[in-house]
Amino acid sequence: MPTTARPTLALTAGLAALLLAGCSGGGGSAGGGSGFAGAVPDRAQGAATSSPTPAPPPTGPYVALGDSYTAGMNIPPQIGAPGACYRSGANYPSLVAKGLSLAPGQFTDVSCSSARTGDLTAPQKVADGTNPAQLDALTADTRLVTLGIGGNDAGFMEVVTECAKENLVDLVKGVITDGGDRSGKSPCRDHYAAGNGTDEVQRKVDAAGDRLGRVLQDIGKRSPKAKVYVVGYPGLLPADPAGCLPVLGNTVALSDLAFLVEKEQQLNGMLKRRAEAAGAVFVDLAGPSAGHDMCAGEDRRWVEPPLPRRGMTPIHPNAQGQEAAAGVVLKVVKG
């Protein structure tokens, strides 16, 4: 019992800490979130051929918006104010700016842990101060925007935490009533089921999409010449939940791990649809992160597990994950 209960207790504790600190934490055409039109090639005027002329990649000024998955929570060096935004100088926006050879004055990172879409248009209070409304960093001169948001609006980390709790309760009940047999069990899915075809999580995702659509319209008004790339969320769990057995044991039912995979796919799917509807470029991180989820080996994972490496945040990207995300974003931005 102690050896099987420990992973779930760790998961619950890790996710509770995560909720206090920030989110997982975002649609468009290349990953998670929404943005405005990406590079659409201009056709050469008067040329003998109809071959498109590639548009040059966007340059600065570049503004990075988002939650803790963008900020790079607890990844050194932690920079900027307020400190409780947990913004890293090695997060993917910083690495993208470096990859585009932008001068310091051409790059502004206002991402902040725990951010929701409402914190893009209004100040966000954190433990040691207030992060100004993120969209206030945009100007008519802004030419590049990355946006990673939506997970907190959808309450995704709360769902993960609730799943851990539901499975812990079910585990204790099972030991008492059926000797720990968990076959066919899905306490988390049962908890969120609405019985009408749309569960509570899906309703939150849909509501988050409505708010995100309005944010994207606002970005277009503030920075009409900017190319906006909405960056999705990397995969937290493997497509085959059985791959997590070495990390989580059997304390979280495989059917509930599958439920969490489904919910993250719904979140990223919403972001992609909203980005495309706004004419944005969606940057997909879920696909490239396959095999690099929190249950992968320490040398391969891009997201930390419930028991993370020292100093890292549970269920959040590590430095390797931020570097990988930057590579994906740069590839899309450069076309």
Among residues 24, 29, 34, 68, the one annotated as catalytic is 68
| Beta-bridge partner residues of 53 | 42
Residues 6+ apart with CB under 8 A from 98: none
Enter the tokens of residue 210: 């409505």
Q: State how far the Cα of 153 lies from the Cα of 149, in Å rounded to an integer.
A: 8
Nearest Cα to 322, choosing from 68, 141, 103? Answer: 68
Q: What are phi and psi of 52, to 5 degrees?
A: -70, 145
Q: Which of 126, 98, 93, 99 is nearest to 111 (CA)?
A: 93
316 annotated active-site: yes
Structural contact between residues 59 and 102, judged by C-beta atoms closer than 8 angstroms: yes
Q: Reduce the DSSP state of residue 312 to 3 states and report it.
A: coil
Give phi and psi for 144, each to the nearest 5: -140, 130
Whose CA is closest to 320, among 141, 87, 72? 72
Q: For residues 269 and 62, what is the distance between their CA atoms, to the nearest angstrom?
A: 26
Beta bridge partners of 88: 78
The C-alpha atoms of residue 322 and residue 140 are separated, in whole angstroms, by 28
d(CA 237, CA 259): 11
Q: What is the CA radius of gyration of the chain?
A: 20
Q: For 188, phi and psi rounded to 5 degrees? A: -70, -45
* Residue 191 annotated among the catalytic residues of the structure: no
Q: Which positions ≥6 away from 181 have C-beta within 8 Å?
A: 174
Identity (one letter) of the amino acid at 30?
A: A
Active-site residue numbers?
Answer: 68, 316
